Each structure stands twice: as C-alpha cells, then as structure tokens.
Amino acid sequence: MAHAPHCPALMLQGTGSDVGKSLLVAGLARAYTRRGLRVAPFKPQNMSNNAAVTPDGGEIGRAQALQALAARQPLSVHMNPILLKPQSDYGSQIIVQGQVFGTARARDYYGLKSTLLPKALESFDILARDVDLVLVEGAGSPAEINLRAGDIANMGFAEAADLPVILVADIDRGGVIASVVGTYLVLEPSEQARLGGYLINKFRGDVSLFDDGLTAITDRTGLPSFGVLTWFPDAHLLPAEDAVAMDRGAMATQGNGVAPIKIAVPRLGRIANFDDLDPLRAEPDVTLVIVSPGQALPGDADLVLIPGSKATIADLQEFRRNGWDVDLSAHLRRGGSVLGLCAGYQMLGKRIADPEGIEGPPGSIEGLGHLDVETVLKGPKRLVQAMGLDLTTGAAIHGYEMHMGKTDGPGCAVPMVEIDGKPDGAIAASGQIAGCYLHGIFADDTFRNAYLNRFRDGRVQTTAYDAIVERTLDRLADHMETHCDLDAMLALAKGRVV
C-alpha cells in the first residue's frame, strides 16, 4: 500500500498506560492548529467504552473526539479505525472504521490483527491526504514486548507507516529514568532507531532539579529531550478518556456551598459513555459522587443517575449484588429523583432480554421495575447524532444515540424526550423516575440548566460547558508551547524516518 510520505506525521508512545499521551496529543493538536497547520489526530487501535458518534454514523474513541476538537477538525471514523469495546474480562466488541466488525475474546483477537492492520493504514492514508500534520497516539507501551508479534498499536504500526516516535514518560508515578531507559533497551534496534526523543510529563516543582535526570537518560539512550512538562492543573476540566479517572477519584467534584446539588452515580463494571458526567462535574453547585462497588448509594443524594453500560445484564446483576436496588428504592421513598441513560434506562424497566447473546450469554433478566417498559437487545446498532426536545421543560436538546436494542411498553406513552420528531424514553407517573436513550444531553447548556433548576432554589445561570473546554484546550496549548520544543518536534515529523 502506498502511504502519504508528503504529509508530516509524528507518533507519541508511552512508557506505560495512563502517562498522558491522549492529553498531550490534544495539546499539540491545538498548538499546531493555532500556528496555521491543518492537523488530524489518529490512533490506530484504542480500547475504550467511552465513544463518540461521527457525523456519518460511525464511532470512535472519545479521546480522539477531544483531539479532533482541539484540532478544529470534524470527527472522522478514520481518526480511530480500530476501537475495542470490552464487554467482559475476556472479550470485546470490535469496531472497524466506525462500524461493528464482530466480537472476539482477547486470545482470538490477536489472530485478526493481520486483517486489521491494512484497515488502520488505509485510514491513516485517508487522513494524511487532507492535512499538514498527523499526530498519532500509541496505546499502552511498546515495552510490552510480549505483545509485539502482530502489534498494530505501537511499534508495529510505526514501522508499517514509517513514523518517527517520541516516548512519553510519567514522572509523577516514580521511576521515570528506568521507564525511559528500560523501554529503550527492550526495543529492537530498528525500533530504537525510530525514536526521535522523549518527553517527561507531570513534573511537580522546580524543573531544573531534574537536569541531572535528563542527562542520565540521554547518556544511556542517546535520545534528546523535547521537554519536561509540569503538572497541568486544569486537566480535570477536559473530558476523561476512560474509567480509570473514575477509579482514582478524578471525576468527583464538590459543590461551592451555594445550594449544592448531590448527584450519585453507581460505578458500573462496564460503564460506557460516561462523558455524560463531564458537564455535570463542571457545574459549581453540583457535587458528583461516583459510588464504588461495595459502597451504598448516599442517602442525601438529590439525583441518582444510572449511566450507560457495555454489558447491561451483567451490570444489572452487579447493581443488585451491591444492594443498590434496595438503596434506590429507599432513595425514591425519600422523594429523590432517578434518571437512566441508555443502558440505565433499560435497567429501570421490567425486563431485559438478550436472545441473540449480543452482550453476553443469551438470556433475560428482571429489571428494576421502576418504569413500565421492557427491552430486547438486538441489532443493528444505532449510531446517530440527534436533535430533539425535552418534553418536561420544552427545552431543545442535542446529543447522540449509541445502542443496540429496542424498548417498548405502556410507560413509553409518557416519553421523556423527542428525538428527531419521534418520542423516546419514559417518565413514571410520580415524575421522580425517567429514562431515555439519548447520550450527551447534559453537554447542552440549555437542557442542563433546565434540568438542574428543579433542584435549585430559584433559577441559576448554568455554566457554558463548551466554552470551558475550549478555554482549557487553549491553556493546554500554551502549556505545551512553554514546556516543549514544538519546533524540534515538528522538524522530526517533517523528516520522518528513512
């Protein structure tokens, strides 16, 4: 396959997972875009249940959607041609160029990589035709040499597409010198030659104190440093890439003491599309509580929000094992509100059936029974950006649908929203419980303001969420300009690897 050698490209690979690659690519995308370059983000293979819908009805990882926003580019399925969406500890749904390709267990997936690499290269070429720079993000680490055979996420892709690579290391977790040097030493000579340098990320304090550390790394690898990035304190204002942010408490918020609204979110094992939560945690009078397994739903919550899931039946079983079904009933008796989005909506109904085994073994399960609806999981998968109307407030809304299955029943006679002219969701007779299939509605400032006002003493002007994200991306680009040698990195991208 002929690639696009005329287009500069640069790949960031990590010395480990969660070193900050996604955020750095977003920052670089905004920085180079502000310099007048047309930039496209690209990740050959991603693993995440946090996905975004593209205008043409495909899906990509949410991190690439944020990077595209940073680059001021429309979303494209080619920005993340291979997306793995875990459904269990052993298997994932495979999305190829935006569409469902199938499901596979981890061991079986490795046999598919030779088929998927040409698709990743095809998408890379398509992007490269129309931009001045492609910023490529690896996954995990190339140091995982046990996974090198058939690799399409790191050095395997870099060699196939002939890309220069910069290593990214996280100093905050400790052992950063060993991380960079160790990664370099376990690579093959051809892969070492592909490395153009390294970046140190998440430094706290006086950067000059690490001068000897940079010397130690360079002496042992011959690689130059492209910069030491200090901790970026506003990272929490940007959408989180995956559920690890929830597990370490990065998504929890505290209200500012002005009529705080407490929203409790059960941390489902296969939680999906939790970008629904990002605009809520940006609100100054909202306290967002992520409830971990083994913990009770807080008794003083105003709202319990049941989020999306990639394994609805399995997560509903876990919901009951944690006693959250009992907590939810007590919450309702106290007069609290409940909202279910997508899978959360399905769980609130009377029954969920999966006769074809789409999300796991075929079967069915009794729902929580708070809405008079039943769901059958079946294809095709619905992927669409949607406009609609909140039928409780009359507010116009926009969001996206990403689900398999159909929900029907008497409860649908009182829908929560209207999507592209069609009713969706249900509201219980008490008015306390509601659910719908539409994701992304809380990113709509008008809807979020109208919805949260029911918990406020008087009307309060809501935060402009999109403006927060835009300002944060600009500050991130400023951060990159200050702490990285962007000129040298661009020169590396233009030189490519011979």
**Active-site annotation, residues:** 342, 439
Q: Which of helix, strand or coil describes residue 416?
A: coil
Q: What is d(CA 340, CA 90) in angstroms, rounded to the nearest whole number?
A: 27
Beta carbons within 10 angstroms of residue 189's beta carbon: 7
Query: Three-state secondary structure along 255-305?
Result: CCCCCCEEEEEECCCCEECHHHHHHHHCCCCEEEEEECCCCCCCCCCCEEE
Q: What is d(CA 87, CA 381) in angstroms, rounded to the nearest whole number?
A: 15
Q: Extract the tokens encoding 383.
A: 């992927």
For the CA atoms of 206, 210, 212, 215, what is the dihedral angle to 10 degrees? Answer: -130
* Contacts for 498 with CB less than 8 Å, ≥ 6 apart: none
CA distances from 195 to 224, 226, 492 (A): 10, 12, 10
Amino acid, res. 176: V
Q: What is d(CA 49, CA 274) in angstroms, rounded to the nearest whole number?
A: 9
> Strand runs (DSSP E) across 116-164, as ranges?
133-137
Helix 465-483 to helix 21-34 angle, to the nearest 10 degrees? Answer: 90
